Structure 1
Amino acid sequence: MEEITDKPEVKTVIETPIFNASASDDLCGILLKDSVLHLAKLTGAVAVFTFGNIDTKSFKDLTIPIIDITQIKTIIEKLTYLQHEDQFQIQEVSESIRTEADKNASLLMSAAAVEYSLGTIECGIVIGLIRTQNSYSLVVHSMEENETVQTVRECEKRVSPETFRSVLHLSLNIAMKGREGKKVGTAFVIGDEEEVLERSHQMIINPFRGQDPGSEISINKKENWETVMGFAQLDGVFIISETGKILSAGRYLDVDTRDIHIEKGLGTRHLSSASITRDTNAIAVAISESGGTIRVYMDGKEVIFVEPNTSLVEVEGRQLANNPLN
C-alpha cells in the first residue's frame, strides 16, 4: 500500500448523506467506520465526532479524541418516506437531503467550535459520523474556516488562550448550574487590567485583595472555581488579568454607555460589559441571570453568543447551529 506523506488541503465543509439506514445498518456502519478511519489518517484530523447509536470500538486505534455529541438533540429532521415516485416527490426528497446535509454540517461545526473554545481539541480538521433515523452522514470540516474558532482566536490575541477558555468554561458552569439551585448572573472583564481598574471602583470590600504574589488566586485553576461561583452572586463584575489572576470581585464599571447598542431586554451588566470593551482592550464575558445566556464582547460589540440550554452558537449575529436538548 502506498504510504501517504502529504495531507490534502481541506478548505470547506464536505458533507454527504451516504446510505439509507434502513438498507443494512451493519453494512452501512462497517463501511462508514472504515471511511472515518481512513479519512482521519489521510487528513491528519484532530478529532472525530459521533452522533446517534454508533459503536466507537472500531475507532480504538485512533490516538485523537473521539467525542460523542448524542446528548445534544439534533434538529436534523427525519426524511420523508415516499409512497409514490413522481417528479414532485423526488424533488421533495432532494430538498430534504440538502436540508439535512446543511444541518448535519452545522451540528458538527457548532460542536467542534465549542470543544475548541473549551480547549478539548486543537484547531484542525475534524471528522463527523452522524446517524439519524433514516440515514448516515459523513462530514469533514476544516476548523480554520469556522467563524466561532476565528472569533475565539481574535479574543486570544488580547488575553492568554488558557485564561479565555477557563472563563468560558466557568461561565458555562454558572449558566447551567447556577449556585445552590438558584440562577446566577455575573460578568468577567479580562485583560488590560490596569486600564479597567482605572475605570472602575469597588462596590464592596474586594475579597481578593492582598493576595500573596506567590500564592495568587488564578481562574485557570479549577480548584478556585467554587470560590468564584460563590462570589458570582455579588453585584458587580470580576476583573481578571490577561494571565488569569483574579484581581477583584464586586467591581462597578465607571463607563459611558452612550452609543452602545445591545439586544433589547438586556440590563446594565451587559451594557457596562460592552462599554468597557469599547474603551479598553479588554474582553468581557457576561452571563444573563434570567436566561442563562453567555455573551462575549470585544470592541464594544457582541462577538459570540452561547445559549447553553439549546447549544445555540452565534458569531456577530449569525446563527451557526441550534441543537435543542429537549
Structure 2
Amino acid sequence: MRLDKYIAKSRIIEIESTDLMGALLELMEVSTARLQDGLNVRKITNQLMAREKTMTTYLGNGVAMPHIRVKMKRPYIFAIGRVKDGIEFEGLHEYNEVRLLFLLLASENEKNYLNVLASLARLFRDRDLVDNMITAPDTKTFAERVFLGFSGLLAKPERRQTRFNRLLLKESEKIARESKCSAILLFSDTFAGGIEGARGFPNFRTVLVTRAASDRAQESGQIETAIEVRSFSSQRLSQARSAILIGLTRGIFKHNDRLLCVGGIPSSNQLDTLMVIDIEREFQSVIDRENDLLPPSVKIEVLERMIGIATELSVEGREGKPVGTMFVIGDTEKVNSMVKPLVLNPFYGYRMEDRNVLNPFMDETIKEYSVIDGGFVIRGDGIIESAGSLIHAPAEFYHNLPSGFGTRHSAAAAVTKAADCISLCVSASSGQVTLFRKGVMFPLLEKPIGTSS
C-alpha cells in the first residue's frame, strides 16, 4: 500500500524536547492541529507512554515508532520528528540512540493496522534510507527525503553492474525459453540496493524474491508479484525453497511449473547462479498435498512471518548461543488438548493485538522466549496462545524420522498428523529449519555456511 499519502509536510518536524513525553506531545500537537475529531492530546500521550513502559517501540537503526488506535475518521495519521541527541525515557540506553521518532495514529476501525505496522518496520530497517533522512542538512531537505523515502523514490546505493551481470541477465531469458520455464524468480537481495522493477523479463512471468517486498516493484508492470523471504544463507536452494513454498500456498505457482532462479550471494552485487527447478520433482514429498498444503485456518502472511523468524533464529541464535524451538500454527483448539505448560504462559493476559506475530514488535519477544523449553502454540490468524508448551500427540501419530532428528522434530511431525495444523522446527544442533504438514517433513533452510552452533 502507498504510505506517503498518510504523511503531510506540516507533520514533519524538528523535535526540541529531550524527553519522550515532550517529544510525543510535539508530534501529537501537529498531528491533531487540523482534525475535527476532538482527540484528547494529553490522554492519548499518556496512553502512548504507558504502552512504552509495557513494550518498547524502538526498532533499531535510531528509529522509534510509538503507535496507537484512536477514535477518528481518518484511517491513519503519520508524523515524524528528527531528534538531535536522543531522548530520555526512564534511563533506558536504547532511547539515547533515537534520531527519528515516528508516530502512528490509526483508526479503531482499520483492519489492516498490523500490515501497515509491518510495512513501516520494513521501511525503517533500511539503514541507508534512515541515514539519508537523519543527515539532511536542514528541515526542508529532511521533509523532502521523508517524502521520497515513503514513496519509494529515494535514491538507492550505487550497484556494481559488471559485464558478467549483464551477460547473465541476458542469457537467463534464453535459458528459460529453451528449458520451457513458466516463470523466472529474480533474487533482488543479490544487490545491496535491490533490483528495480524495470529489470523484469518482458517475455516471462517475473517473480521478485526479496527480504523486503516493495509495492513499487510491481507498479512497473514487469514484476508480477513479490515474495518476501528473509535471506541469510549463501546456499541458494534454501531461499528458493522457502520462496517456492510460499508461492505454492499463495497460488502464484502450480505444481507442474518449472522455474528459472537468477541470483547470487545477498549484497554481493554479483550474479553467480542460474538454477532450473522443477517444482513437481523438488517438492515431491509435499506436492500430493498441494491443495491442502496450508491449513484452512492459517493465514499465509502468518506462515511467511514465522518462516522469517525461524530463519533468523537458525542463523543468529540468541546471545551467541544456538536455539532450538518449535512453532505450531493453526487448529489451536485441538492442539491445546495436547499441550502441557512447562512454565507460566508469558503471553497470558496481553491484548490479542500485542501478541500477534504480524505485529513487528513481537519479533524480539518471540526470539527471547524461544530459549524456553517447549514450543509456541499460535492461532491461524497469528495470535500467540502460549510459549514454553510441551506438545505431546497421542502415540499412534508418532513415526520414525530420518537419523539425526530428535524428540522436538518427532513431536512437530506428530502434532500435524493429530491436528489440522502446520509446524516449524528449528534445530539447535544443525541450524536446520524444517516444516511439517500432516506428518511429512520439508527442509526449508540448511545450516548457513560459516555459522557455528
TM-score category, normalised to shorter length: 0.5 to 0.7
Deviations 1:49-100 (A, max 9, x none): 59999xx9899543863779x99667xxxxxxxxxxxxxxxxxxxxxxxxxx
Give the corresponding residue for 1:275. Answer: 414
Give the whole-Å Cα distance in 2 for the aligned partners of 1:137 and 1:180.
33
Give the corresponding residue for 2:391. Answer: 253
Give the corresponding residue for 1:300. Answer: 439
Give the whole-Å Cα distance in 2 for the aligned partners of 1:284 and 1:185.
13
Please, which runs of 5 or more residues in structure 1 have no aligned partner?
1-24, 75-106, 311-323
> Map of 1:1-326 to 2, 5 A cutoff?
33-36=169-172, 45=183, 47-49=185-187, 60-62=198-200, 65=208, 111-117=239-245, 122-123=252-253, 126-128=259-261, 141=277, 146-147=282-283, 150=287, 154-158=292-296, 159-213=298-352, 215-257=353-395, 259-304=398-443, 306-309=445-448
Task: Judge conservation of contact 1:49–1:126 (CA < 8 Å) in 2.
Answer: no
CA separation of 1:192 and 1:40: change in aligned 2, threshold 3 A: same
Task: Judge conservation of contact 1:112–1:143 (CA < 8 Å) in 2.
Answer: no
Ranked by relative contact order (alpha carbons within 8 Å, sequence separation 6 or more), the top structure is 1
CA separation of 1:200 and 1:129: change in aligned 2, threshold 3 A: closer
Shift of 1:298: 2.1
Give the corresponding residue for 2:57. Answer: none
Task: Judge conservation of contact 1:48–1:65 (CA < 8 Å) in 2.
Answer: yes
Segment drifting more, 44-53 vs 202-211: 44-53
Shift of 1:223: 2.0
Deviations 1:29-55 (A, max 9, x none): 7665434467889978453359999xx
**What root-mean-square deviation, in Å, do the aligned CA atoms of Structure 1 and Structure 2 show?**
4.4
Say how many residue pairs are matched. Answer: 249
Query: Which TM-score applies when normalising by structure 1?
Result: 0.60
Give the whole-Å Cα distance in 2 for the aligned partners of 1:302 and 1:194.
23
Q: 2:335 aligns to what SS in structure 1?
A: helix
Q: 1:285 aligns to what SS in structure 2?
A: strand
Give the whole-Å Cα distance in 2 for the aligned partners of 1:44 and 1:260.
37
Instruction: Tell me which amino acid in the other structure corresponds to 2:373.
Output: D
Give the corresponding residue for 2:74. Answer: none
Task: Judge conservation of contact 2:295–2:421 (CA < 8 Å) in 1.
Answer: no
Q: 1:65 aligns to what SS in structure 2?
A: strand
Query: Which TM-score applies when normalising by structure 2?
Result: 0.45
Please, which runs of 5 or more residues in structure 2 have no aligned partner?
1-161, 201-205, 212-230, 265-271
Instruction: Tell me which amino acid in the other structure corresponds to 1:180.
Output: E
Instruction: Tell me which amino acid in the other structure corresponds to 1:156.
Output: L
Instruction: Tell me which amino acid in the other structure corresponds to 2:241.
Output: A
Shift of 1:249: 0.3
Give the corresponding residue for 1:93. Answer: none
Task: Judge conservation of contact 1:71–1:325 (CA < 8 Å) in 2.
Answer: no
Q: 2:355 aligns to what SS in structure 1?
A: coil
Shift of 1:112: 2.8
Task: Judge conservation of contact 1:184–1:233 (CA < 8 Å) in 2.
Answer: yes
Give the whole-Å Cα distance in 2 for the aligned partners of 1:164 and 1:170.
10
Deviations 1:99-122 (A, max 9, x none): xxxxxxxx6x65432334467x95
